[in-house]
Chain A
Amino acid sequence: MAIINFKEKIIQIKIVYYGPGRSGKTTNLEYLYSSLKKKFNGDLPSKLITIDTQGDRTLFFDFFPIELGKINGLDLKLQLYTTPGQVMYESTRRLVLKGVDGVVFVADSLASREEANLESFQNLKDNLAHHKLGLDDIDLVFQWNKRDLSENGIPLLDMESMENQLNSSVKTKSFPTSATLGTNVFKTLNVAAKLSVTSVIEKLLDKKHDLPN
């Protein structure tokens, strides 16, 4: 549910980090938040909101707004959300997807999490359908997260098979990432934001008549 406000000159877009439990969705947001905080010397207008349980599992969502420069003279504001990954938090996952413009699917590269990735991706499709949306209606980007673990000899899924399993029908962009180290975290967000903004502008502005010239 994007908002364009011509008085405040802002375009606001909602991006949700989705994926199985413990795949690193919150870590993505924490990395973005702490890097930006460092960059602006601690002077950020908004805090990272996180509603989690004991043991750092996300209970409801994490949220963080980012301002990312101008598009067509409008300030671009991104609302970043994560969903709780654990299976039992089904209803909150559905709630967070309301009004979503873009999804970053954070897939877990651990070999043992193959099934969990597939289940979570199917769950994303089901929950989008609940909002009468399909994968075509949103902009999706994949992260193959935890790639750094291969250095420690931990068995990982190879990226080709992850592509085949998750990205063969959608054929969208995907990135090998390490959310803890920050590898490709900003890049994923940039691409997700760019894709979402382009579709929102196409969807909203081309059809409306009350635009300023």
Chain B
Amino acid sequence: MSIVLSEEKADRLDSSLSKLLDESGATYAMLTDMGGNLLSKAGDESFDGAALAVLTAANFAATKEIASLIGEKDFSLLFHRGENENIHFSKINADIIMIALFKPYLSLGLLRLKVDSIKEELHEILGE
């Protein structure tokens, strides 16, 4: 699946991500496809965004293989806890992953709730 993002679509994706940051308290959000192509991002980026997109896609692909080893189709959500940063990955649809960075004092439950709540909006923008 190749993707053409018009200016309008790209703007709407950007503002959905900014809204997620405002509402959840996350510091950074990104959308990437399963091929590691960065689609949209919002928030402070003090790292290589292209690399994050690529490694996330690879991470998803690798855990999908783990899933199939234990008889699951895939894992729709991944979460890594760090000392100063946490990272949350969730599947928006079969081809798109959302990445959110958030501080350890923020509630994971709240973040998951907020991510879920903008999924529909993203589906609509991505034309589903």
Chain A positions near chain B (C-beta within 8 angstroms)? 1-8, 12, 14, 45-47, 49, 51, 60-61, 63, 65, 79, 91-92, 95, 98-100, 200, 203-205, 208, 210-212
Contacts and interface: CB of A to CB of B under 8 A. Distances in A.
Contact of B37 (A14, A47, A60): A14
Contact of A95 (B4, B33, B51, B58): B58
The interface size bin for chain B is 20 to 34
Given A1-B1, A14-B35, A210 B48 contact: no
Contacts of A49: 51, 54-55
Contacts of B48: 45-47
B6 A99 contact: no
Contacts of A205: 4
A2 B7 contact: no
Interface string B40-57: 000000001011001100
Contact of B51 (A46, A204, A211): A46
Given A3-B5, A4-B4, A7-B5, A79 B51 contact: no
Interface in B46-74: 48, 50-51, 54-55, 58, 61-62, 65
A6 B34 contact: no
B25 interface: no
A210 to B, nearest CB: 4
Contact of A98 (B2, B7, B10, B34): B34
Contact of B2 (A7, A8, A203, A212): A203
A46 B36 CA distance: 14
Contacts of A60: 58, 62
Contacts, number: 94
Interface in B5-39: 5-11, 14, 33-37, 39
B37 A6 contact: no
Determine the main DSSP class of A at the interface with B: mixed
A182 B39 CA distance: 33
B113 interface: no
B51 to A, nearest CB: 6
A65 B58 CA distance: 15
Nearest to B32: A3
Given A45-B48, A79-B36, A79-B37, A1 B7 contact: no
18 contacts: A1-B2, A1-B37, A2-B3, A2-B37, A3-B2, A3-B4, A5-B10, A6-B5, A14-B35, A14-B36, A45-B50, A47-B51, A60-B58, A60-B62, A99-B2, A204-B2, A204-B4, A210-B6
A187 B66 CA distance: 39
A99 B35 contact: yes
Given A6-B6, A49-B54, A1 B62 contact: no
8 closest A-B pairs (Cβ-Cβ)? Answer: A99-B35, A7-B10, A1-B35, A95-B61, A210-B6, A3-B37, A5-B5, A7-B7
B22 to A, nearest CB: 20
Given A1-B33, A95-B61, A210-B6, A79 B1 contact: no
